[in-house]
Structure 1
Amino acid sequence: MRRLLPGIPPDNSPHDLRHPTRKIPARVGQEPLQPKVQDMARLIALIETLMMCLAMLAVGAMMIVVSVDTIARYAFNAPLPWASEFIIYYLMVGATYFAISATYRHGDHINLDFLHHFVGKRMMSIIDCVSGLAVAATFLLVAWLAFHTVEETYASRSFIPGYISWPTWLSHLPILLGSAVMAVRVLHHSIQLGLHGEDPNVVTRTAVGGGVE
């Protein structure tokens, strides 16, 4: 059993030998990176939550517009002439791309997990890391193309033909935002898998009954 000398704190932190009660300060740049990684994960999750709220609003708006259009069409013979374009080019696109990253975080995307039964956990983490990098690159490309489309259609003042001249760039904006957030999420997930072999912020495998393995 180690005997503690008077005046020396009973811990394992480094101390100056000339002054036993004085701790040696940590060097600059030695602070752990894990809190910063968690802050990044919380920021991504916050953005995903806000975008999921927008997706829910889009779904709710679709239900209202379809219901009103159906009632007006069959009860009053006066359908909403702008309903189809508004739903197809705005609400459906927003409901899909605003929810894509949060859906990935909760493990609700289609996932072929048959390899989990044949390889070890570490090897599966490497496979998920490599495939995640490919997915992140794909969504970065989609976001880049959507950005140029938004820029061009906004500069040219392009409109969707129909009863109402809806601006075209607004229909591509959810694709840009959703793909960008998805790329950041998958990239962060892949880095976590590559460094630590797991990512507690993303559900990667779902059991048959809906639980997490």
Structure 2
Amino acid sequence: MDTRMYIMAHKKFQVPDKNGYIPLQVGSALNEDLGYQKDDTGIQISAKNKTYCELTGMYWIWKNIQCDNVGICHYRRYFVQDELLTIEYMEQCLKKYDIIVPDSGMTMYENVYKHYENRHKIKDLNICGEVLLQKYPKDYAAFKWSLERNFMSLGNMVITSKTLYDEYCSWLFDILFEVEKRINIENYDDYQKRVFGFLSERLFRTWLLNRPLKVREERVLFIDEQ
């Protein structure tokens, strides 16, 4: 079975010595070659990295990679138990579950909506909801419900079959590309310009909630590497 764990990175880092872990340089169209697989080949949106963050790598995998299972982690964030999850563990787990996601985080604000309002531009989240309602009305109730709770799934990390991954990406990018047409980020600072990465983290939980999936949560380790 062909199972791959792609590590999203925009800078040099210590690549784990683990079978199946593949570093992927995101935003490679905008930066010098790091010597990793780049996301600016084939069908790609690499030049959008400053606003789409790791999603440019996710898009590249969606459009250009054929495999059985695919995972997404980051150069500083990994799925772990006692150690980084092995490919063998992922494959065994996916025999029982449809998808592996990070364990849920909890915002200290009243709910996810208030968290976004305090950290980002709330009008962007509202516009995202409008687009979702127009394009995927059956998912809108799950979107509203998730925003009214205080559990979050951050990082755009996932392990699942490539078939299910492709289904998610088709849904996600259809929404985000329309949101991109409706918001003006010209005067945003560099952090807030990462808006599509922020929105996707809220959309991921919406997508999970409204599909009949067996979900497995795994712990995420943050490596404080500069």
Q: Do both share a fold (TM > 0.5)?
A: no
TM-score, normalised relative to structure 1? 0.26
TM-score, normalised relative to structure 2? 0.25
Q: Which has the higher strand share?
A: 2
Whichever of the two has the greater Rg, that structure is 1
Question: Higher relative contact order at CA 8 Å, sep ≥6: structure 1 or structure 2?
Answer: 2
Q: Which has the higher helix share?
A: 1
